[in-house]
């Protein structure tokens, strides 16, 4: 069968591969090369070595600032989203009345797109801040916590669904044995529930981690980096470097390469973390 | 006594859940409420006041917003791009996945790892070159962008399909081929029917992605053809202040199809999310 099928490369594999090459592979290789060049359109490039990479940090400090902002934002959201989602999942697996309705409601924000979400929260947060005579843009800390609230609102339901499935998979006899042995709620939680759902915790940690680092749409719609680039995250900073300053395309591309390495590194660590856990089990 | 205590905890938990649910629903209600108010009454603390005889403007925000961003054409583009992309992603990547899983070799191995690699590369890496390149080769229209979506959706979708194909026995396919079926016939009448549940999962995940995607349609076709997210962001305009009334109304219209889709396909969506999370 393999021999016959092999001849059908053009029919089965080629159509998707052409799309893949046009949309991803060629632009990626090209982009990588251009990160070492100076250019304004993609065909008039001249080689400048590492200059773009150096300029990414020296021409202004927005990129470094965006990195720290993104890192802080990601750390806070990874912790809050996972704790809240896990707590909700614990509660919703305890036969509380209306479990299904709650689950439906909690998950819903996840389907709404980032741009729409950003504008929704802009109105709500500006409404709240108005009673203190402030707006979202009057201080970077409002933008920061606004984004944190928005991200929690959007992601808690998603992670909760993953945790619920994991908790429901814990064998009932294990929990029963624990209660016969006289384990209280706290012991059961830390000795049985949490260790049993550890793989899901790893998955959710990395999902929230990459979601945080790659955030763009919500950032654009909520604050667009204001005031003065202080709430600009990495993805938005890269976009602005490309498109709002002429002559900085190379710097934007160099930043994009560094961003890719950062995100890929997180993914690799995740791969190693999940693999080693699989071996343990 | 213990029973009474337990019962109380249950109601306390219930009350907390109601509060959380209110927190989830509240922003959406605020937007719906404000979509019927005049601009002046949306800003500042007025945002949380119900429309009254002074602020109520009926459906003016809706007609105004629909006009300004041509909402229905945006809806049409979003719908066309999402449906066409998802159909082509499903068809082309299931074929690719079958080929690279069943034909072992260096080339198919390299293809597989390239596809996996593409899943972790953020869009910003290819954003600039891809939008210029697609402009050069004339993919910057509502039909060409389908090619780009297939290319970008390829990674995850092929990965998930081939994960499933690996788990099904090859014997059925071999039997069909020995009986004289061509690979095309074998694929469509033996393999494809078995992929149904994986295909639903992938369809859900890709639909959520394409429908809500902002940057790619903005960069590639945004000046001429606006999808819903692009149209909404377009309301912000260049400088000046945003017409918040029209914005609220358009946010409501943008959410309605999503919520309807969710209520009808909830079961599949949650299943899809679970499968996607475990594999991705």
Count up the domains in chain A and report the number: 2
Specify the length of chain B in residues: 280
B258 vs A24, A28, A111: nearest CB: A111
pLDDT at A213: 93
* pLDDT, mean of residues B235-245: 76
Nearest-by-CA chain B residue for A256? B125
Residue in the structure block whose two tokens are 């632009």: A27
Mutate which: A4, A12, A129, A222, vs B, most B CBs within 10 A: A12
Check whether the bond before B280 is cis (ω within 30° of 0).
Answer: no
Q: Is the pLDDT of residue B1 over 50?
A: no
CA distance A194 to chain B (A): 18
Q: Are residues A90 and A6 in the same domain?
A: no
Please, are residues A200 and A177 in contact by the beta-carbon 8 Å criterion? Answer: no
A6 with A87, same domain: the answer is: no
Q: Which of B158, B213, B255 sits opposite A112 (nearest CB)?
A: B255
Same structural domain, A135 and A172: yes
CATH at A92: 1.10.3720.10
Quick one: A31 and A102 in the same domain? Answer: no
CA distance A191 to chain B (A): 22
Q: Are residues A106 and A178 in the same domain?
A: yes
Report chain A residues whose CB lies below 8 A from the CB of B118. Answer: 20, 24-25, 28
pLDDT at position B2, please?
46
Residue of A nearest to B215 (CA): A217
ipTM of the complex: 0.90
For chain B, give the percent of residues with pLDDT over 90.
Answer: 66
Contact between B93 and B162 under an 8 Å Cβ cutoff? The reply is no
pTM score: 0.91
Query: Both A70 and A208 in a single domain?
Result: yes
Name the residue among B34, B122, B154 with its Cβ closest to that of A19.
B154
pLDDT in the model for residue B240: 58
Residue A242's closest chain B neighbor by CA? Answer: B128
User: Quick one: which of A69, A32, A106, A28 has its CA closest to A215?
Assistant: A69
Same domain flag for A68 and A42: no
Here the contacts of B165-172 (C-beta below 8 Å, separation 24 or greater) are B165/B97, B165/B98, B165/B101, B165/B102, B165/B191, B165/B195, B166/B101, B168/B194, B170/A1, B170/B102
A65 and A47 belong to one structural domain = no
Classify burial at B171, counting beta carbons within 10 Å of its beta carbon; exposed 0-12, middle 13-18, buried 19 or more: exposed
The reply to whether A21 and A36 lie within a common domain is yes
Q: Can you list the domains of chain B with their CATH numbers? A: 71-279 (1.10.3720.10)
Pick B278 or A73 by higher pLDDT.
Answer: A73
Looking at the structure, do residues A33 and A68 belong to the same domain, yes or no? no
**Cβ <8 Å between A8 and B154:** no
Is B147–A19 a contact, with Cβ atoms under 8 angstroms apart? yes
Do A64 and A135 belong together in one domain? yes
Tell whether A78 and A160 lie within a shared domain.
yes
Q: CA B172, B175, B181: angle at the middle one, nearest 5?
A: 110
Mean pLDDT by 10 residues, chain A (281 residues): 85 96 95 90 82 90 94 96 95 87 92 93 90 86 95 95 92 85 84 88 90 94 89 94 87 95 90 68 46
Q: Find the domain containing A20 and state its range.
A: 2-52
């Amino acid at each position: 069968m393999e021999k016959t099928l092999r001849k059908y490369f053009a029919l089965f594999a080629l159509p998707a591969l052409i799309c893949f090459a046009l949309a991803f592979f060629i632009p990626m290789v090209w982009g990588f090369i251009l990160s070492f060049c100076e250019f304004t359109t993609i065909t008039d490039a001249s080689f400048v070595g590492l200059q773009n990479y150096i300029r990414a940090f020296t021409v202004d400090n927005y990129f470094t600032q965006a990195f720290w902002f993104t890192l802080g934002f990601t750390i806070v959201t990874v912790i809050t989203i996972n704790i809240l989602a896990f707590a909700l999942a614990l509660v919703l697996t305890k036969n509380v009345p209306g479990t299904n309705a709650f689950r439906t409601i909690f998950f819903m924000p996840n389907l709404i797109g980032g741009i729409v979400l950003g504008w929704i929260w802009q109105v709500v947060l500006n409404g709240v801040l108005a009673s203190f005579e402030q707006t979202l843009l009057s201080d970077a800390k409002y933008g920061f916590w606004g984004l944190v609230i928005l991200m929690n609102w959007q992601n808690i339901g998603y992670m909760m669904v993953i945790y619920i499935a994991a908790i429901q998979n814990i064998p009932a006899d294990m929990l029963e044995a624990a209660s016969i042995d006289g384990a209280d709620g706290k012991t059961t939680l830390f000795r049985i529930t949490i260790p049993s759902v550890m793989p899901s915790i790893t998955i959710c940690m990395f999902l929230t981690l990459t979601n945080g680092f790659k955030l763009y749409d919500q950032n654009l719609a909520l604050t667009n980096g204001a005031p003065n680039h202080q709430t600009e995250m990495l993805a938005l900073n890269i976009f602005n470097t490309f498109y709002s300053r002429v002559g900085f395309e190379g710097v934007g591309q160099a930043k994009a390469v560094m961003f890719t390495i950062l995100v890929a590194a997180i993914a690799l660590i995740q791969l190693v973390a999940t693999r080693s856990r699989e071996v343990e089990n | 006594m213990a029973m009474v205590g337990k019962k109380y905890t249950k109601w306390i938990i219930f009350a907390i859940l109601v509060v959380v649910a209110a927190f989830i629903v509240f922003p959406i209600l605020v937007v719906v409420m404000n979509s019927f108010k005049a601009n002046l009454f949306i800003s500042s603390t007025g945002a949380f006041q119900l429309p009254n005889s002074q602020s109520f403007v009926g459906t003016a925000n809706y007609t105004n917003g629909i006009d300004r961003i041509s909402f229905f054409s945006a809806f049409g583009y979003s719908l066309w791009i999402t449906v066409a992309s998802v159909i082509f992603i499903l068809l082309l990547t299931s074929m690719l996945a079958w080929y690279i899983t069943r034909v072992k070799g260096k080339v198919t191995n390299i293809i597989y790892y390239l596809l996996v690699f593409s899943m972790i590369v953020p869009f910003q890496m290819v954003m600039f070159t891809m939008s210029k390149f697609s402009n050069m080769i004339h993919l910057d229209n509502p039909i060409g962008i389908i090619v780009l979506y297939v290319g970008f959706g390829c990674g995850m979708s092929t990965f998930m399909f081939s994960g499933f194909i690996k788990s099904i026995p090859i014997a059925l396919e071999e039997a069909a081929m020995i009986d004289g079926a061509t690979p095309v016939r074998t694929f469509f009448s033996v393999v494809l029917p078995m992929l149904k549940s994986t295909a639903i999962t992938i369809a859900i995940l890709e639909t959520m992605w394409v429908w809500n995607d902002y940057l790619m349609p903005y960069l590639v076709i945004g000046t001429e053809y606006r999808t819903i997210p692009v149209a909404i962001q377009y309301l912000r305009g260049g400088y000046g202040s945003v017409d918040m009334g029209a914005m609220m109304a358009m946010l409501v219209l943008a959410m309605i199809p999503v919520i309807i889709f969710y209520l009808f396909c909830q079961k599949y969506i949650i299943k899809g999310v679970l499968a996607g999370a475990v594999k991705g």
